Amino acid sequence: MASLLPACLGVLPGVALLLLAGCTAPVGGPASPPTAETGRAESGAMPPRPVVVTTVLPITLLTRAVAGDCATVEPLFPSTTDPHDLQVRPAEMARLARARVLVRNGLGLDDFLLPLIDGAGRSDLRVIEASRGVTPLPADHDDGHGHGGDHDHSDSHGDVNPHVWLDPLRARQQVGTIRDGLIAADPSCRKGYDERAEAFSRQLTALHQTLDRQLTPYRGRTVVTFHDLLPYFAVRYGLQRAVLVSLPGESPSIAALEQAGRIARREGLRGLLAEPQQNNRALVALSRDLGLPILRFDPLERGEESSEPSAARYLRTMEANGAAVAAALGGSAARSAGVGAPADR
């Protein structure tokens, strides 16, 4: 996947540090007049709910699934923001300043925040790296899974691919790490964090089992994707990938398009895979030429704000991804995966 550009480091870094340092509040909340809730907390009626900020959409979903009503979870950036274009502005700095906990993915995806925190002296901010202990794939991993064209796909976040949440079992590891970090920051709600993490972990296990049953008949088969959307998903379920481009903003070469066409015909594919926001004209033309629909695989990097419970949203999206992959491999009609007919525009 494309890199998460640390653009914030080039946007008034001195001002950013002053903002973070200047609006830092005591642990547990902003420097503002006491509310009814904080007043009750001070009188011993109830502890204040810690403010927890998160970096990218999948980490927000997993954190909310664990936090429940024990903490106020706020995304640091709008969930609709392309994670490759993140900018740290005053609003983000203020949100970070009033937080007790930051939950980040790690593996290079959001490391650009760490110098800002260190420079502002936020020793009171607990930082949870959700991917700690997760075994990552190399950034240029192909595991023998033939990539189309002559592209050298690599993720400029570093030597590893950070998108571990697209494997339900690695996501389950992230949930455990988030739980442990939240308990350490807020031991008063240990039981709530424990119970929700355990319940969601059971759901992730069930999700994996469902996807494994659904995709086992297609082990070793190749899907064609616009860019390398699903290394972790593919490795977990024994699939191969042929990709048209290294990065989402690129245009595929003629050679890559021709190879993708050959693979699609050889594999008897029923669709091509692309993320919901991807409408590259070359992809649309290939879809039309091959008579195949574009099926949507959502990598959960961004999305609209939703009132749907976070656990349900993650599970629903991953189930839909499994259906799209199965449909692409001929397991069911494309319509059942929530996709349309071959592109004609």
For 11-59, write each residue's pLDDT tens digit.
Answer: 334 434 434 444 333 333 333 333 333 333 343 455 689 999 999 999 9
Q: What is the reported pLDDT for 173?
A: 98
Q: Do 13 and 121 belong to one domain? A: yes
Q: Do 126 and 202 belong to one domain? A: yes
Give domain status of residue 77, yes or no. yes
Domain containing 115 equals 7-143+159-206
Q: Do 80 and 134 belong to one domain? A: yes
Q: What is the reported pLDDT for 297?
A: 96
Give domain status of residue 212, yes or no. no
Q: What is the reported pLDDT for 48?
A: 84
**Alpha helices in 12-139, H assignment, sequence order:** 13-22, 36-42, 57-67, 90-97, 113-119
| Closest by CA position to 116, among listed 87, 93, 98 | 93
Give domain status of residue 304, yes or no. yes
Q: What is the reported pLDDT for 337?
A: 44
Give Cα separations from 334 to 47, 288, 296, 315, 318 (angstroms): 51, 15, 10, 20, 16
Only one residue has tokens 């190879």, namely 259
Q: Do 185 and 273 belong to one domain? A: no
Q: Do 295 and 329 meet the contact criterion of CB atoms below 8 Å apart?
A: no
Tell me the backbone φ, ψ of residue 222, rounded to 5 degrees. -110, 135
10-residue mean pLDDT series, the chain (345 residues): 33 40 36 34 61 94 96 87 69 87 93 81 90 93 42 54 96 98 97 98 98 98 93 98 87 93 96 86 92 95 75 95 97 49 47
Residue 263 tokens, joined: 């693979």
Q: What is the reported pLDDT for 16?
A: 44
Q: What is the reported pLDDT for 34?
A: 35
Question: What contacts 24+ positions apart, CB below 8 Å, involve 158-162?
Answer: 158/107, 158/108, 160/107, 160/108, 160/136, 161/1, 161/107, 161/136, 161/137, 161/231, 161/232, 162/105, 162/106, 162/107, 162/108, 162/109, 162/131, 162/136
Cα separation, 324 vs 292, in Å, equals 13
Q: Do 75 and 103 belong to one domain? A: yes
For the chain, the domain total comes to 2
Q: Do 332 and 323 meet the contact criterion of CB atoms below 8 Å apart?
A: yes
Q: Do 194 and 298 belong to one domain? A: no
Q: Do 191 and 226 belong to one domain? A: no
Give domain status of residue 184, yes or no. yes
Q: Do 231 and 319 belong to one domain? A: yes
| Closest by CA position to 57, among listed 339, 325, 306 | 306
Give domain status of residue 148, yes or no. no
Q: What is the reported pLDDT for 237?
A: 98
Q: What is the reported pLDDT for 276?
A: 87
| Closest by CA position to 294, among listed 344, 249, 331, 254 | 344
Q: What is the reported pLDDT for 99?
A: 93
Q: Do 247 and 310 belong to one domain? A: yes
Only one residue has tokens 């004209």, namely 281
Count of other CB atoms within 10 angstroms of residue 342 = 17
Q: What is the reported pLDDT for 213?
A: 98
Give domain status of residue 261, yes or no. yes
Q: What is the reported pLDDT for 35?
A: 36
Please give the full DSSP string across 212-233, using - where no structure is assigned.
HHHHGGGTT-EEEESS---HHH
Q: Do 179 and 194 meet the contact criterion of CB atoms below 8 Å apart?
A: yes
Q: Do 253 and 182 belong to one domain? A: no
- CATH assignment at residue 251: 3.40.50.1980
Q: Do 173 and 272 belong to one domain? A: no
pTM above 0.85, yes or no: no
Give domain status of residue 213, yes or no. no
Q: What is the reported pLDDT for 86?
A: 66
Q: How many helices (H) and strands (E) does the chain have?
A: 11, 10
Give domain status of residue 345, yes or no. no
Q: Do 184 and 224 belong to one domain? A: no
Cα separation, 130 vs 178, in Å, equals 6
